[in-house]
Amino acid sequence: MEQKMFCYQCQEALNNKGCTIRGVCGKPSDTTNLHYLALFVCKQMAYWNELARKVQLETTAGSHHIIKTLFATITNANFDNKWFLNQIKQGIELRKTLKEKIREKLASGSKKLDGVENAPQWTEWEDNITEENLDALVLKGKMQDPLSMFDVDLRSLKDLAIIGLKGLAAYLEHAMVLGYENPEIYQFLEKTLVQMQDESLSVDDWVGIVMKVGEFGVKGMALLDEANTSTYGHPTPTKVNLGVKKGPAILVSGHDLRDLYELLEQTKDKGINIYTHGEMLPAHGYPELRKYPHLVGNYGGSWWHQTKEFESFNGAILMTTNCLVPPKKSYKDRVFVTGAVGFEGLKRISDRRGNQPKDFSELINLALKLPSPTQIEDGTVMTGFAHESILGVADKIIDAIKSGALRRFIVMAGCDGRMKSRQYYTEVAKNLPNDTIILTAGCAKYRYNKLDLGDIGGIPRVIDAGQCNDSYSLAVVALKLAEIFETESINDLPISFDIAWYEQKAVIVLLALLYLGVKNIRLGPTLPAFLSENVAKVLVEKFNIMPIDSVQGDIAAMLAGK
């Protein structure tokens, strides 16, 4: 059978090798190949941005374009060919305009800059970016897929870097919309994109670059943490209602807190109840979001349940970012998308103009006409245990460790997914002894956050730090505990890592942990398909990364510090 595409960036890659006809995520081959073409144009933009900085020209527009495009290529983010064609066209126009500005700047000063007139051929590519020319553009995109690199180890390392950069771009986009930016991170990201085209770099060079991606992953997560907490306050432990109320409703999924905030502002006193879904659950922990009385609860679980939960919700639905499952016809006309997320046929909320809020009036008007949600569960669930809250009870934690009441932390952060093997994480949570505490962030928590696991001296045995975007909180806590206990590294603390991954934000978190020197990480339910045998061997030898195994065997090993 003809191989129409190749993609292995997520955990559900077919047979843990790669999707070749259609993505397991539901993405058609033409869309996947447009992803690669959009990334290629980002490399062009990065090249000219680097030159523009050398002559003190403004490069922000190009950086923003790169970040949004990388974010949109994350698994389950954007399935819309028209969106990508527009993004590709916009990238080429930005690049051409910037090149002319560079020439004008050099001409005005009678200077020369190597790399402008003698630019590599790949930096100049352009074509007729229209739907009528789709077949040619798809073919060009396919020529950029991973299999175009014949050295398996170089391919593995380059893809590990680019997949990490996609996750980093997601964090940067969330920070950017709140007005928080770091030019140093932009410059590193763009330099790395240009290096992707440099065939002189060796495997050793790319090992170093991958570690630098982890370093800037830490910086990116710190930037987003500052953006979120400065804007909405530090999260505090909060009980979130799981039931429903009568009345019109809007369900907000994805990860973007500003979208939720603006929607809450625009629905005040309209009699509409706002519910969170999936990764938006931690929004309830932020004081500036929790203060809205019509933010009434959380509906459902992680992203892959949405085909059932969106249907039973009955009301209007807003997807703010990635983790969209191709919608069913039965509820497709109730789903709106915005930002980097997209799907053909879904209604789109336009981007902000300047710093003006998005206009959610069409979404709101639809919600007012729809029935109440169908209740699917009741009770409450806890969230809001970010680093300030955890460190606020550091004395209790230290006393519990010293007394023996708390033997070990198990970090079970990361992603959820459809594979039955992910039941492993539920069973680990159920079978961990009562003197352990689970630290979590990301939708992996839905495998165990509604279990009644009790507490240790008033400290819950499941501490939810928030979204995958909030994984930085867990690193801050670990580093602070290492400081308090005066240990040489995080590895000397009673902390074990049992991480679930699915997509690219989990990869940047993993690389960040490796940069921080964390060892003995269990990763599952499978190791990434993009790790070649030799690259995986390097990670095992240097960091002792290992696949998950049996529930009881892994628990015993983690309790023994292995």
CA-wise closest residue to 515 among 484, 479, 477, 546: 479
Three-state secondary-structure class, residue 374:
coil
C-alpha span between 188 and 168 (Å, rounded):
11
At how many degrees (to 10) do helices 60-72 and 81-108 cross? 160
Query: Domain 14-230 maps to which CATH number in 1.10.8.50, 1.20.1270.20, 3.40.50.300, 3.40.50.20?
Result: 1.20.1270.20
Structure tokens at 158: 């380059």
C-alpha span between 277 and 422 (Å, rounded):
20
Three-state secondary-structure class, residue 266:
helix
Beta pairing partners, 436:
408
C-alpha span between 168 and 187 (Å, rounded):
13
- pTM value is 0.96
Q: Are 529 and 556 in contact (CB under 8 A)?
A: no
DSSP string, 424-453: HHHHHHHHS-TTEEEEE-SGGGGGTTTS--
Structure tokens at 375: 């209740």
Place of tokens 């206009």: 359
Q: Which residues, including other chains, have CB under 8 Å from residue 352's CB and lie 6 or more apart?
A: 177, 358
Q: Which residues of the chain have pLDDT under 50?
A: none
Kindly indicate whether the domain formed by 238-367 is annotated with CATH number 3.40.640.10: no
Q: Are 500 and 415 in contact (CB under 8 A)?
A: yes
User: How high is the pLDDT of residue 469?
Assistant: 85
Sequence spans of domains, the chain: 14-230, 238-367, 386-559
CA-wise closest residue to 449 among 301, 339, 340: 301
Place of tokens 């039931």: 243
CATH of domain 386-559: 3.40.50.2030
User: How high is the pLDDT of residue 527?
Assistant: 94
C-alpha span between 96 and 449 (Å, rounded):
50
Place of tokens 């806890």: 382
State the pairing for strand pair 462-464/459-460. unpaired
Domains 14-230 and 386-559 share a fold: no
Q: Is residue 249 within a helix (H) or strand (E), and if so which, with residue range?
A: strand 249-253
Three-state secondary-structure class, residue 337:
strand
Q: What is the pLDDT of residues 226-235, one digit of tens each?
A: 999 999 999 9
DSSP string, 142-209: HTTSGGG---HHHHHHHHHHHHHHHHHHHHHHHHHTTT---HHHHHHHHHHHHHTT-TT--HHHHHHH
Structure tokens at 107: 């001409």
C-alpha span between 472 and 512 (Å, rounded):
9
User: How high is the pLDDT of residue 1?
Assistant: 57
Beta pairing partners, 456:
459
CB atoms near residue 218 (< 10 Å) = 19
C-alpha span between 99 and 105 (Å, rounded):
10
With 0-12 CB in 10 A as exposed, 13-18 as middle and 19+ as buried, what is 149? middle
